Amino acid sequence: MNIFTTACPRNCYSTCAMKVQVENGRIRRIEPHTGNQATPGGACLKGLSYLERVYSPDRILQPLRRRPGSGEFDPISWNEALETIAGKLDELRSGPGPQSVLYYAASGTKGLLNAVGMDFWRRFGGCTTTFGDLCWPAGLEATRLTLGENKHSAPWDIAKAKLIVLWGKNAAETNIHQMVFVDQALDAGAKLVVVDPRRTQSAERAALLVQPRPGTDGALALALARLLIVSDRIDHQFIRDHVHGFEAFASMVEVCTPEWAADITDVSTAFIHQLAEHIGTIRPVTISPGFGMQRYTNSGQTMRALLALLAITGNIGKPGAGWVYANLQSHIFDEVRDPIAFYPPERPDGVVRISISTARLGKDMLATRDPELRMAWVERGNPVTQNPETNTVLEAFRALDFRVVVDQFLTDTAREADIVLPAKTMFEQSDVIGAYWHAYIQFKQKVIDPPGAVKPESEIYGLLAERLGLPGADDGTVFPVSDEEVETYLSARLSPFPELSLERLREDPQLAPGQEEVAFADRVFATPSGKIELESEEAYRRWGVDALPVYTEPVESVRGGAPDADILPLYLMTPNTKNRIHSQFNNLRMIRQLSPRPLVHIHPDDARRRRIRDGDLVRVHNDRGELILEASLDNGLKAGCVSITNGWWISEGGTVNFCSAGRETDMGHGAAFHDVRVEVRALDDGE
C-alpha cells in the first residue's frame, strides 16, 4: 500500500490537505494530513465522498456525442471526437474568425495547469471569453479600495479574538475548519455574534443573532458606526495615523441613527445598540463576512461600510483582530493578485476578446456581434445551473451551432453539448494549488491513472493543437501529458520560489513566501493615501459610486414604492450547504442520502397567509422563471424571506437561477444574483 500527500482543489475555503491510501492502483482510504495547520482535522463529508466520485457508475469515461435532434448521447472514440471538434474549429477560424468561439472556464477546480486552456486558445488565434466572477468580486474590490490588498491573518489567529462577528457567513457549513478556531476562542471566553436572516448552525453558540432584511447590511453597519462615534468608542490615535476620510465619513453617518437603520433593516434598535456595545467595548474584534452578502446590487458599498467598523475602532493589524474575507497570499503565481484581474481590459489584446460579463452571460452571449458566437467550449463549470437567469443562458447556448463540454458527469450544461469530453478527477494528474482562506501552497499529486478513456485537459488540448497545426503542439512544456512533463511544467512555475520545490511539497504543504501571520501588522496599506480609505476617490472614478460607503437600497426591494412589491413580496435567499459545493457532489448517492430533494424553507407566518402546510408542493416564481418544490416550515428564518440552497440541477428538481437576474454588483463585476424577489403559492391555490 502506498500513501500520498495531496490536497482538495475544489472552490472551497479549506483547500484541505489529505493523505490518500492506494492499493493495487485503487484508492482505499482518505485521511487527514496535519501538515496544513488550517485543516488538521481532514476532509469534510464531500472530501470523503471522493471515493464514490472517482468510481461512480455515472462518471463519463469516454467521449460522448449527442444524437441529432435528441437529448441522448452515444459513446464515440477519441479520434472521432477530436476530428469533429478540430474540423469545427478550423471552419470557424477560417470563416467568421476565432472570436466566434466562446471559451468559458469557471472555478470548479483550482491549479496551475488550468493555464493550459488559455495557452491553447491564444495559439488558435484567439477566442471570446468572460470577465467578472460569480463568487466574490464586490467584496474583493471593496477590500482593495479600503485596505489596498486582499489578505487576512492566518486562520488560527481568530482563536485570539474576544469578539467574533460572522456577518452573512454560515461557517459551520461552508468553512467548517474555521469553526474549530472560533470554538477555541469561545472556550477562552470570547463572544460570537451572527448576522444572518437565517438561524444557522453557526449561531448555536452565539451571544447575539441579528436578522436584517436581505441586502440592508450596509445600513446596519453605518448605524453602528454612528453609535461608536457618538459614544466615543473609537481609536483616535489609530484613526489619526492610519485612516483617511474619517471626518467626511463621520459627517455622513450623522443621519444614520438606530431608528433610521431599524426602519430599513427590520432589526430592533435594542439589537443595534447591543451590537454597538459589543464592538465598542470588546477588543480585539474580528469580522468575517460571507460571500453571499456581497452578491447584491449594493454590496460593494456594504462591504466598505463593514470594514469601516474595524478601521474606526483600530481593529486592524493586531492579533485576534481584523477582516477575514479573502486571503490571496498564496496567489504568488498570478500576474495580478487582486480583483483588477476581473476587470475587462481597457484595450483588447489582439486575439482574446474579453467582452462577456459572467453575471450577464446569457444576455451578453446573445448580444455578441462582429463576429457573433457560433461555438462554446466549457470546462470546470456548469453555467446552465450556476449562472444567473438560467432560461436566458439556455437560450444562448441553444442558439449556438456547436458546444463542447469537458466534465466528469452529465451536468445540466453537459446535457446541452454536442460533444462531451471526459474530465480527470483530482487524483489523476498532478498539479500545484493555492487557496483563499489560508496561505498554503500544496502539491495535488497524481495517485492513480485515469480510468477508461479519460484524458487530462492538457492532453486534450495538445491533441487538438496537433490536428490544427498550432505552434507548441509537440512541446511537452506547453501541453504536458506524461507525469514527467507535468512535473517539469510545474517545476518551471515554482522555480522563482526555491522553498517550494516539488520535493518539499510532495511531503507537506508549505506556507507561501512572505506569508503574514497577522495581516497589516506593519500598518502598510497599498492605497493612494497609504492609509485605510473610508473615502475613496477611486471608488467614484472607477465604479460611479459615492466616494463614501453610502447606503442605497438593493434593486429588488419591497421598499421605496416598488411597483410590484405586492406581487413579489418575498426575498429569495439561495445559500450554500455543507452537502455540496454549488452544483457539485449532490449527484453522488452518498450525498443524496442527506439531501434527496430541494426544499423551499418558509417562515410559518408567511406559509399561513398562503395556506401552505409543511410538505406541500408549492410554486416559487417571478417574471423570470419558476420552480415546483416541497415547502418546509422554518421558524429560524426571518419572516418575509424564503430560502432554497443553490446548486440543484434541473434534472434534480430545478435550479434557483431560473428566478435570478443577470445583473452586476455595484463594483467588481460580480453577479448580483442574490438580489431576487419571488412569490410562493400552493399548487392547489389556483396558481
* Average pLDDT over every residue of 638-650: 96
* 605-612 mean pLDDT: 97
Burial of 53 (0-12, 13-18, 19+ CB in 10 A): buried
pLDDT top residue among 352 and 189 = 189
Q: How far apart are the first and last CA of the chain?
A: 60
The answer to whether the bond into 549 is cis (omega within 30° of 0) is no
Q: Tell me, what's the pLDDT at 408?
A: 97
HEC string of 493-552 equals HHCCCHHHCHHHHHHCCEECCCCCCCCCCCCCCCCCCCCEECCCHHHHHHHCCCCCCCCC
Q: How sure is the predictor about 202, in pLDDT bands with cuts at 50, 70 and 90?
A: very high
Residue 281 has pLDDT above 80, yes or no: yes
Sequence-ordered list of residues with C-beta below 8 angstroms from that of 45, at least 6 positions apart, any chain: 578, 579, 590, 591, 594
pLDDT tens track for 551-586: 999 999 988 666 677 889 999 999 999 888 898 889
Does pLDDT of 619 surpass 50?
A: yes
- Give the whole-angstrom CA distance, residue 642 versus residue 659: 13
Q: Give the per-residue pLDDT at 335.
A: 66
Helices and strands per DSSP (H, E), number in the chain: 22, 27
Cβ neighbours around 236 below 10 Å, total:
11
Q: What pLDDT is recorded for position 562?
A: 64
Confidence of residue 84 (pLDDT cuts 50, 70, 90): very high
Which of 174, 159, 120, 56 is CA-nearest to residue 410? 56
Per-residue pLDDT at 263 exceeds 50: yes
CA pair distance 332, 38, nearest whole angstrom: 19
- Residue range 631-651: average pLDDT? 96
pLDDT score for 138:
96
pLDDT tens sequence across 35-55 = 999 999 999 989 899 999 999
> Which has the minimum average pLDDT: 13-22, 195-204, 267-276, 574-583?
574-583
CB 160 within 8 Å of CB 185: yes
The identity of residue 62, as a single letter, is: Q
What's phi and psi for 620, nearest 5 deg? Answer: -100, 120
CA 29 to chain centre: 29
CA-CA-CA-CA dihedral for 508, 514, 516, 522, to nearest 10: 170
Q: What is the pLDDT of residue 347?
A: 46
Looking at residue 564, its pLDDT comes to 75
Q: Which amino acid is at 288?
A: S
3-state class (DSSP) for residue 406: strand
* pLDDT per position as a tens digit, 394-418: 999 999 999 999 999 999 999 999 9
DSSP 385-397: HHSS-HHHHHHHH
d(CA 668, CA 142): 8
* CA atoms 628, 67, 383, 373: torsion sign: negative
For the residues 65-86, what does the mean pLDDT come to? Answer: 95
The residue behind cell 441579528 is 210
CA pair distance 672, 357, nearest whole angstrom: 12
* Strand 617-621 relative to strand 626-633, pairing: antiparallel
pLDDT of 376 above 70: yes
Residue 195 pLDDT more than 80?
yes
- Cα dihedral sign, 47-459-465-491: positive
Helix H, strand E, coil C: the string for 470-492 is CCCCCCCCCCCCCHHHHHHHHHH
Looking at residue 566, its pLDDT comes to 81
**Does the pLDDT value for residue 686 go beyond 60?**
no
Give the pLDDT confidence score for residue 654 in this predicted structure: 83
In a 10 Å sphere around its CB, with 0-12 CB exposed, 13-18 middle and 19+ buried, how is residue 94 labelled?
exposed
Instruction: Please report the domains of the chain, with CATH numbers, ordered by start residue.
Output: 64-125+343-428+449-474 (3.40.50.740), 137-328+527-543 (3.40.228.10), 570-682 (2.40.40.20)
Q: Phi then psi for 645, rounded to 5 degrees?
A: -65, 140
Least confident window among 169-173, 279-283, 346-350, 624-628: 346-350
pLDDT in tens, 116-142: 999 999 999 999 999 999 999 999 999
Looking at residue 318, its pLDDT comes to 98
CA–CA distance, 155 with 109 (Å, rounded to integer): 22
- The whole-angstrom separation of Cα 466 and Cα 460 is 10
Which of these, 382, 299, 264, lies nearest to 672 by C-alpha position?
299
Quick one: pLDDT at residue 16?
Answer: 95
Please report which confidence band the pLDDT of residue 233 belongs to, taking 50, 70 and 90 as the band edges: very high
The confidence score (pLDDT) of residue 340 equals 55
Average pLDDT, the chain: 94
Instruction: State how far the Cα of 388 lies from the Cα of 674, in Å rounded to an integer.
Output: 9
Average pLDDT over residues 93-122: 94
Q: Which long-range CB contacts under 8 A does 235-239 form with residues at least 24 apart?
A: 235/312, 235/313, 235/314, 237/314, 238/311, 238/313, 238/314, 239/311, 239/312, 239/314
pTM of the model: 0.96
On the question of pLDDT at 685 being above 80, the answer is no
pLDDT in tens, 314-352: 999 999 999 999 999 999 997 655 655 456 655 456 688
CA distance 609 to 592: 32
- In the prediction, which pLDDT does 341 show? 46
